[in-house]
Homo-oligomer: A and B are copies of this chain.
C-alpha cells in the first residue's frame, strides 16, 4: 500500500510512527512542511523535516517531542556570550550538526529535497521524506506593534519567542505563490492508495503545504481516499498553540472547524470520542466522520488511530 501523508512537526511525526507500526509494509511518502524553516547564525534550520526525521529515525527527544535526545547546548551558550541573534531559539549541539550539513549542501547548490534525502541516509526513517518545495516559503505572522501599527515577524519568533501570545492579525506565507512542489511531491500524491492528513497544525503545518501551487489541486484530484485526523480535541489543540493560529484565520478551534478548512479535499475525518457530536456537522459538509480516541499517548494507541484512519479510507473507497 502506498500512503502519502502531509506532515508538520511533532503531531505529524508521532502519528507517522503509529502509522508505520500499524502498517509496517506500507510504502510511506511524507510531504513535509518547510514554511517553519528559519536561518539562524547562517544555518538553514528545517524544524518540521528534522522532527519527522529524528522521530522516525530514533533520535528524537521523546519528552519534548522535538530536538535530539541527550542534547547539549554548549554552542548556544557560547553564541549567547558573543551576543548573537535570536537567543530565544535554542539550537542544540547535536541538532546543529544537521543544520551544518544541510547548509553546506544548500550552499553547494543541492536543492533541499536532495539534502533531505542525504540526511535521511543516516536516519533511515522508514519513509520517503520530501519537503513540500525546494523554494523558500516562510510563514510570517502579522501582529500589532507598539505604535498602533502592525508588523510581520517570522513564525518562529511568534511561536517560540512570543509563545503565540501576541494576537495574530494575519498569517502570510511569504514566497508561497512562486513556489513549486519539490520533485516527487505531485507523483506521490497522484500515485497514492491513501492520502492522510495527520493531526498537525492545520494553519501553519498542513496549510503551507497545501498553499504551494499545485499541491492542493493534486490532492483534490487524486484518486486515493483522503482522510484526516483532528488536531483539536474538545475545543483545544492536542498540543502547541493551534488555537492562536486558527483564530488568526477566523476558524473556530473545533474538530469540525478544522475539517471544514479542508472540506474541498477530505473524504474522511476522525474526531476524538469526546467530539462525537461533531461528526454530524462534519458529515453535513460531505465528509465521512468517525469518533475514535485521538490522544497519541503511546505507540499502540497511535497505531490504533492510524489503523482507524486506514479503515475509514477503505470504507470511503468502497462506497
Contacts and interface: CB of A to CB of B under 8 A. Distances in A.
Interface stretch (A78-86, A191-199, A236-244): A78-86
Interface string A82-95: 11100000000110
Contacts of A119: 82
Interface stretch (A3-11, A100-108, A134-142, A253-261): A100-108
Give chain A's interface secondary structure class: helix
A317 interface: no
Contacts of A122: 81-83
Given A82-B122, A107-B42, A122-B82, A74 B101 contact: no
B74 A104 contact: no
B97 A82 contact: yes
Q: Which of A41, A42, A101 counts the most B-chain CB atoms under 10 A from its CB?
A: A42
Interface residues of A, number: 24
Interface string A224-239: 0000000000000000
Contact of A100 (B72, B75, B104): B75
B78 A94 contact: yes
A81 B70 CA distance: 15
A115 to B, nearest CB: 11
Contacts of A42: 100, 103-104, 107
A83 B104 CA distance: 13
Nearest to A74: B93
A83 B96 CA distance: 15
Nearest to A106: B42
Given A72-B72, A75-B75, 13 more contacts: A41-B104, A42-B107, A43-B100, A72-B93, A75-B96, A75-B97, A75-B100, A81-B122, A82-B97, A82-B122, A83-B122, A84-B100, A93-B93
10 contacts: A41-B101, A42-B100, A43-B100, A75-B75, A75-B94, A79-B101, A81-B97, A81-B122, A82-B98, A83-B122
Interface of A: 41-43, 72, 74-75, 78-79, 81-84, 93-94, 96-98, 100-101, 103-104, 107, 119, 122
Closest 6 A-B residue pairs measured CB to CB?
Answer: A78-B97, A74-B93, A42-B104, A41-B100, A79-B97, A78-B94
